[in-house]
Amino acid sequence: MGSALAALLIAAGLAAMPAQAGALRASVLSVGDGDTLRVREGSRIRTVRLACIDAPETSQPPHGASARAQLQALAPVGAALELHIQATDRYGRSVAELWSGGRNLNQALVASGAAFVYRSTIRGCDRQTYGRLETAARQRRLGVWASTGGITRPWDHRQARRHGPPQPSGPRMSQPAMPSGGGTRLSCRQIGSQARAQELLRQGSTHLDGDGDGEACESLRG
């Protein structure tokens, strides 16, 4: 661990915290991103999602790469860890707090500004300590807090990537142009409404695409 990071953890009160009783012992195999890693626990290999925090995604440069580097510094390949497992998520990952050398690594990432407190999964963690550490990081403009208000939260970033940016509505919504012969096909999402689809059909369009569903545009045909 770098001297600067160690000093930061000491200042945050994370230098001599007792490990949780009943924790599993494991060694680090690889670090995926700022809040996910793979470990070997006995003969078992686990993918671990760090509990109660959410680090920027790798698609959020430069903060995603920085968060991964922070976790790698705290838990390098081969390092011994103690896992306090809280749950198994829908992807089969062990959701856990990590401890190394008496330090809670989840809290260390929040203290350094490498990750946010993930309040939707804070149950099972020390809410007050996590909140205090995040407030201190925000006040010191560390990591994700370097800009006022911080960066886009990773949970909002993931949602935007899954569903796309919000679509405009009402009279300001632009209408797709009619493709020329043999031109680009229009998706049902681009068409936007049954009325517009019917208008295109009346104009003789054969460029309606079912977005891979086949039934989607059929329902717009009336």
Lowest mean pLDDT among 8-22, 78-92, 129-143, 194-208: 8-22
Domains in the chain: ranges and CATH: 3-160 (2.40.50.90), 172-221 (no CATH)
User: pTM to 2 decimals?
Assistant: 0.66
Q: Is the pLDDT of residue 217 over 60?
A: no
Q: Is the pLDDT of residue 10 over 50?
A: no
Q: Give the pLDDT confidence score for residue 87 in this predicted structure.
A: 92
Eight-state DSSP code of residue 178 = P
| Catalytic residue numbers, as ranges | 49, 57, 93
Tokens describing residue 183: 């031109």
Q: Is the pLDDT of residue 108 over 90?
A: yes
For residues 20, 25, 27, 29, the Cα torsion angle rounded to the nearest 10 degrees is -90
Q: Give the pLDDT confidence score for residue 211 in this predicted structure.
A: 41
181: amino acid identity, one letter: G
pLDDT (tens digit per residue) in 18-74 = 444 568 999 999 999 999 999 999 999 999 999 999 999 999 999 999 999 999 999
Percentage of the chain modeled with pLDDT above 70: 64
Whether a cis peptide bond, with omega within 30° of 0, leads into 76 is: no
Instruction: Please measure the distance between the N-terminal and C-terminal CA atoms of the chain and give it in whole angstroms.
Output: 65
Nearest to 53 by CA among 155, 137, 205: 155
Eight-state DSSP code of residue 170 = G
Tokens describing residue 216: 């989607």
